[in-house]
Amino acid sequence: MIHSTSNSQLDSFDENNQNTIWIGSKGAWTMFAIAILFAKYLFGLTGMEAGTAWSIVHILHVSVSFVTFHWVKGSPVDTMSNSSSQGRTDPLTWWEQLDGGNQWTQNKKYLAFLVVFTYIAAVYATLFHPFMILIHTGFLCLGLIPKLPGLYRVRLFGINED
């Protein structure tokens, strides 16, 4: 386990970080919930069983969230706005930039809740099939463990290190 080095310049976050400020804006939480329910609805329209549809939604949600929130570093918005971070966010993931790095904020709790919600929906819809519980629990761990405060700016085994 390798901890990223702390740097006071990196820890002084801009409150107007265009990469993350949108999550606190009006309607962002609703948009996330509607997107998840809409995805389930679209899979349902194809004639898929509810268990299969919720399983795909859960696995896609966790996979996309992991890559975009916990893997990709920097700020793609930086080059498109007038409020440049001047490279301060380059070594940080989106999750580490969110809410100025503060832990257990309302935004972070809600995003963690969505992972748990899709897990419960998928497990319930698959009628608690033991194999599916195992698969979904693995994805639940992939979706929740990186969100824990103890893993803030931690790169396991040097993976995704600068």
Dist. CA 126–CA 110, nearest whole Å: 24
Question: Can you give the pTM of this predicted structure?
Answer: 0.85
Label the pairing between strands 2-3 and 154-155: antiparallel
73: DSSP letter: B
Dump pLDDT digits (tens) for 97-115: 999 889 999 999 999 999 9
Nearest to 93 by CA among 83, 81, 85, 101: 101
**Chain centroid to CA 144: how far?**
9
Query: Which 3 state secondary structure label does DSSP give 154?
Result: strand
Dump pLDDT digits (tens) for 57-97: 999 999 999 999 999 988 776 555 555 556 677 888 999 99
Contact 118, 101 (CB under 8 A): no
CA atoms 27, 32, 34, 38: torsion sign:
positive
Show the tokens assigned to 88: 């301060």
